[in-house]
Amino acid sequence: MSVGILIQVRLGSTRLPGKALLPLPGGTVTQHVMRAMAGVTADVRAIVTEAGSAEALSPLAREEGFQLFVGPEDDVLARYCMAAREYGVDEVIRATGDNPLTSARLAGDILRLHRESRSDLSHFLGIPLGTGVEVARAESLYAAEKDAVDPAEREHVTMFLYRHPERFRVLQPQAPPGVNLPDARVTVDTQADYERVRRIFQELYRGVPIETAQLAQWLRAVEAGQEKKT
């Protein structure tokens, strides 16, 4: 089975414009996503974006050994399906460019479980928000592309699959015990998110992707310290 890591990125966020290009120790937010996903075995690695973001993202993708695919701005489902066809992949690992703490280990684990269960869509429950990926069969995405009419189902790549459990097998295993932190948030969507993630990188980054187990220890220690103060 051919696997494609397709990282969804655009620079037009309204809450935090250009967040994918914000600097962190060692590189930008999106560069850290690419470096983490370089640790997952795959046949294709690509940034999947729209025309308005392509020029700024192209040199970063090239620097990290990723391809760049440009598709529709608002129909992200179609953008993913076009990319999957272009690259000829059977399975899509969907990551997003605002999650610099994405875990290669968790991505590899969910890909294995996805295959073993022969699911259409798979992701972990309970991991810190911003560390996980989704794995989807390309054929299932093509079916969604054909039948999805709600604009929200076009904007959100996998929403149609979640909404139709009678058609698609969705695997949602609980997170491994060491990284089961369902209330933790390490995605970058607001300025406050960015400041927190920057602090994490300042304290934990040592030139290689931060392991989720190490991140979980840090998050628990911070939470424990906050509880002591109260």
Q: What residue type is assigned to position 202 of the chain?
A: Q
Domain boundaries, the chain: 3-229
Tell me if residue 109 falls in helix, strand or coil: helix
Per-residue pLDDT at 49: 98
Calpha distance 217→1 (Å, rounded): 35
Whether 145 has a pLDDT exceeding 50, the answer reads: yes
Calpha distance 97→145 (Å, rounded): 22
Tokens of 95: 């990551």
Q: What residue type is assigned to position 40 of the chain?
A: V
DSSP assignment of 135-150: EEEHHHHHHHHHH--S
Q: Which CATH architecture has domain 3-229?
A: Alpha-Beta Complex (3.90)
Calpha distance 9→229 (Å, rounded): 38
Percent of the chain with pLDDT over 90: 93
Calpha distance 167→170 (Å, rounded): 10
pTM for the model: 0.94
Least confident interval from 28-32, 69-73, 157-161, 222-226: 222-226
Per-residue pLDDT at 230: 47
Whether 32 has a pLDDT exceeding 90, the answer reads: yes
228: Cβ–Cβ under 8 A, 6 or more apart, which residues? Answer: none
Per-residue pLDDT at 138: 98
Torsion sign over Cα 18, 22, 27, 30:
negative
Q: At what angle do helices 76-87 and 138-147 cross, to 10 degrees?
A: 140
Whether 208 has a pLDDT exceeding 70, the answer reads: yes
